[in-house]
Amino acid sequence: MNDAAFQQCINPACGQTFAVEEVKVACTRCGSLLDIKYDWSRLPALKSLNYFEHRWATKGTETEGRIDFSGVWRFRELFPFYRTESDIVTIGEGRTTLQTADLLAKQMHMRPGHLLLQYEGLNPSGSFKDNGMTAAFTHARMVGAHKVACASTGNTSASLAMFASLAEMEGIVFIGSGKISFGKLSQALDYGAKTLQIQGDFDACLRRIRQIAIDPRMGVYLMNSVNPFRLEGQKSIMLRILEARDWEPPDWIIVPGGNLGNCSAFAKAYMELKELGLVKKVPRLAVINAAGANTLNVLVNDRKLTWQGGNFDPTIIQKHYAVLDESNYYPHTIASAIEISRPVNLPKALRALEFMNGVVREVTDEEILEHRAMVARWGFGCEPASAASVAGLRKLLEEQVISADESVVCILTGHELKDPNATVKYHTGVDMKVAQDLAPRETPHGKLSNPPVQVADDLKAIVRALGVDPDKVDLSAYNASAAKPGVPVAEF
C-alpha cells in the first residue's frame, strides 16, 4: 500500500481523506471533488527539476525504459500514487512538443520567440487525453477494474478505447447522438469499445455515466476528468513545457475550457512545484470558453464567482444552472470538444484561477475557425476547440491584458485531423456532415465490425444496453445517489 498518497476532498470545510486504493467519483461525505495528495515529507526529496533530464534519452524498449520513455511517467516522482512500477499502464503517451511559433506570432503582432504552441494532438490517440488516461488506467489496474467507461465529445472516447484495448479491459463510451466527429467515432469503434449513442448532449451523457458508475454493482470504473487520477497525469503537460524551456516557467498559459480538467491540473502542478520549492514563479492562466458554451465566463466575469479559499458561493452556480434549465438551453459551438455547459471541475477551476491569477474569456465560433486556420497555415494545425486558446490570446493582446513581449504558451489540445469537416467547410463551403448519417445503411459485415448502439437518454434503456436486466436492479437507488444534473459537484 502506498500510504504517502491519499485522496482528499477539496472542500476545506470537509477535507475528508480516502486511501488511494478506494474508487470514488466524489467525496462520499459531502459530494465535492477529490484531489490526490502526497505527504512529500515521506517521499524521496527532489532537489531540482534537472533531475528528470537523465530520462530524456531513454528508448523505451524494455519495461524500465517504457516508463522513462513516456512523457508522463518520466516525471513520476511528482505523482507517486501507484504501488509499484508494474501497475503503470503506458502506451508511449506524452511525447509531445513545444514549438516556437514565430510565423504565427508575427500575425498576432507579437515579437519572435514569445509565442509557443504545445502540441498535445501528437499523443497516440490524437489529443491531450492520453496524459490523463495513462494515470487513470494505472489506478484502474491498481484496484483491479475490468470495465472502464466515459462520456465523451470525442477525444476522451478515443483515448479510453485505445488504452482499454491495450490494457485488456472492457471499454464503454457514451457519446451524444450526432455530437461526435467522425474521426473520433471511428477510433472508439476501431479499438473495440462498446459505444452507446445517447439521444442527448455531452452533459446528458456525463450525468448518465455518473449514475451508472456510482453503483458498485455495475462494476464500472469512471474515466472522465472527475476522476482525480486523470488530472495527475495531465499535470505532466506543465512539466514538459518547463522541460522544453530549461525549467523556466512562461508568463502565460492559455488553454481552452470545457470540463475544466486541464486548467485544474495545471494549477495543481504549479501548487505542488511551488510547495516543493522547485519553481519560483507561477505563470498566469487564461481559460477560454466558446461563446456557445460559456458557463465559466458568465460565472466568473458576469456573476463574479471566485474560489475564496474554497468558500465560494454555490448559489451563484445553482442559479445559473436553473436559468439554463428553465430556458431549455443546450450549448452549441463548432468547437465540439468544449460544447459543455455544466463543467464538472468548476470548483477546481475557480481554485486554479485564484492560484494562477487567472482570467477567463469567451470567443465566437468565427474567431475559433479563423484562428484554427491560422494555426494550420503557420503551424502544424489543431482541432477547432484547441484554437480557442489562440483566439483567446488575440483578445487578451487587444485588451492589453497580455503584452507583446510576454512569453505565452497556448495549449493545442487536439489534432487537426479530428475534425476535417470543419476544415473542409471553412475552405470550400461544403458541409460533409450532411453525408454523415450515423445510422448504418447496411449491416456491417467486417470480421471485427463494432457498430454503435443507439439508446434513448433513459437510465433503464442504458442499463439494458450495458447487458444488465433493469428489472433485476433497483434503479431508484441510482437516481437517489446520482449527482443532480448540473450540480455534479458539491453542494457545499
On the 0-12 / 13-18 / 19+ scale of CB atoms within 10 A, 348 is buried
Q: Which is nearer to ligand F0G, 32 or 156 (CB)?
A: 156
Q: Which is nearer to ligand F0G, 67 or 122 (CB)?
A: 122
Residue type for 121, please?
Answer: G
Residues 382-401 that bind ligand F0G (CB under 6 A): 383, 385-386
Q: How far is the CB of 300 from ligand F0G (least distance, A)?
A: 14
Q: Which is nearer to ligand F0G, 249 or 257 (CB)?
A: 257
> Is residue 176 near ligand F0G by the rule CB under 6 A?
no
Choices 60-68, 187-195, 259-267, 460-468 (CB under 6 A): range interacting with ligand F0G = 259-267
Q: Are strands 5-9 and 34-38 parallel, antiparallel or unpaired?
A: antiparallel
> Is residue 122 near ligand F0G by the rule CB under 6 A?
no
Q: Which is nearer to ligand F0G, 31 or 343 (CB)?
A: 343
Pairwise CA distance, residues 263 & 248, whole Å: 19
Nearest to 371 by CA among 410, 400, 402: 410
Among 262, 295, 297, 407, binds ligand F0G (CB under 6 A): 262
Choices 207-215, 355-363, 379-387, 435-443 (CB under 6 A): range interacting with ligand F0G = 379-387
Pairwise CA distance, residues 267 & 273, whole Å: 10
Residues 405-444 that bind ligand F0G (CB under 6 A): 413-414
Q: Under 8 Å CB-to-CB from 309, ≥6 apart: which residues? A: 12, 354
Pairwise CA distance, residues 462 & 72, whole Å: 34
Pairwise CA distance, residues 73 & 476, whole Å: 41
H-helix or E-strand spanning residue 287: strand 284-290
The CA-based angle 385-387-393, given to 5 degrees, is 125
What mask of x and - would describe binding to ligand F0G in positions 268 to 307, judged by CB under 6 A?
A: ----------------------------------------
> If DSSP states are collapsed to H, E and C, what string results for 391-432?
HHHHHHHHCCCCCCCCCEEEEECECHHHCHHHHHHHHHCCCH
Q: How far is the CB of 259 from ligand F0G (least distance, A)?
A: 3
Q: How far is the CB of 102 from ligand F0G (least distance, A)?
A: 24
As beta bridge partners, residue 289 has 362
> Is residue 261 near ligand F0G by the rule CB under 6 A?
yes
H-helix or E-strand spanning residue 152: strand 147-152
What mask of x and - would describe binding to ligand F0G in positions 328 to 357, judged by CB under 6 A?
A: ---------xx-------------------
Q: Which is nearer to ligand F0G, 185 or 338 (CB)?
A: 338
Residue type for 355, please?
Answer: F
Among 225, 227, 333, 407, binds ligand F0G (CB under 6 A): 225
Pairwise CA distance, residues 417 & 406, whole Å: 30
**Residue 75 carries which DSSP code?**
G
Q: How far is the CB of 125 from ligand F0G (least distance, A)?
A: 10
Q: Which is nearer to ligand F0G, 73 or 174 (CB)?
A: 174
Q: Residues in contact with ligand F0G, total (CB under 6 A)?
A: 21
Assigned C-alpha cell, 277: 520549492
Q: How far is the CB of 385 from ligand F0G (least distance, A)?
A: 4
> Is residue 258 near ligand F0G by the rule CB under 6 A?
yes
Residues 142-161 that bind ligand F0G (CB under 6 A): 152-156
Q: Which is nearer to ligand F0G, 385 or 482 (CB)?
A: 385
Give the C-alpha distances (Å, rounded to integers) separating 81 from 89, 227, 434: 13, 14, 47
Among 127, 138, 295, 421, binds ligand F0G (CB under 6 A): 127
Q: Which is nearer to ligand F0G, 68 or 259 (CB)?
A: 259
Choices 61-69, 380-388, 443-451, 478-486 (CB under 6 A): range interacting with ligand F0G = 380-388
Q: How far is the CB of 335 from ligand F0G (least distance, A)?
A: 8
By the 8 A CB rule, do 386 and 412 touch?
yes
> Is residue 197 near ligand F0G by the rule CB under 6 A?
no
By the 8 A CB rule, do 255 and 262 touch?
yes
Residue type for 427, please?
Answer: H
On the 0-12 / 13-18 / 19+ scale of CB atoms within 10 A, 251 is middle
Interface residues toward ligand F0G, by CB under 6 A: 127, 152-156, 225, 256-262, 337-338, 383, 385-386, 413-414
